[in-house]
Amino acid sequence: MYDLKIYFASSNDHKKQEMMRLLNGVNITLPKEEAIAFDPVEDGNSFIENALIKAKDLYKKVNAPVLADDSGLVVDALNGRPGIHTSRYGDVDGKKLIQSEKNAKLLGEMEGKENRRARFVCALVLMVSNEKIYIIQETVEGYIAHSIRGEHGFGYDPLFLVEETGKSAAELSDSEKDKYSHRGRAVRKMNLIIEKLKEELK
């Protein structure tokens, strides 16, 4: 039995699965599950700005609590790329690369780089009303591997070595990933806000 329904401003089933694991007693609903058109232009200059764009776009359509996530990989040796363009990195003229191609592109760009430090960033926005918006941003530090490692996770997980574990994000179990990941850290803080919100809405 869910205590609260929150629309998740995403079309990513993998992210929804993570959110369902991490959020306590919350029914996470994607726009596509209710045939709600959702394709905002993410033209912000930061993860937080893009998360706000998504949250506000969906809130206008559902007039109910909305959770938005904008996250990505920041690589020091690439001047912060892919950064806010992580999900579209390498796409050219509307032609979208599949993830294996994106991974290969990133490995190619890192060839010969001594500094392989990187971090995953997650900005979370919970929009309860036009006047009540909560924002949390968290990171997990690590390094870019020299090759693909692991079969779990999604996105750049197989290339990102989590500093605290020495494993790639794709080598972690679900519980380990939830503990160490940027999204896990952000959602744990957001959970505290959501618990208060449940009390307010009773």
- Return the CATH number at 63: 3.90.950.10
Binding-site members for substrate are: 10-15, 71, 154-157, 177, 182-183
Give every residue of the chain whose pLDDT is below 70, as ranges: 1-2, 202
Amino acid at 144: I
The per-residue pLDDT for 202 is 66
**What range defines the domain where residue 124 resides?**
4-201
Report pLDDT for 40.
92
> By three-state DSSP, how is residue 172 classified?
coil
Q: Which of 70, 91, 93, 178 is catalytic?
A: 70
Known active-site residue 91: no
In this prediction, residue 2 carries a pLDDT of 62
Number of structural domains in the chain: 1
SS3 content of the chain, % helix, strand, coil (to 5): 40, 25, 35
pLDDT of residue 111: 95
Binding site for Mg(2+), by residue number, is: 70
Tokens encoding 138: 């968290």
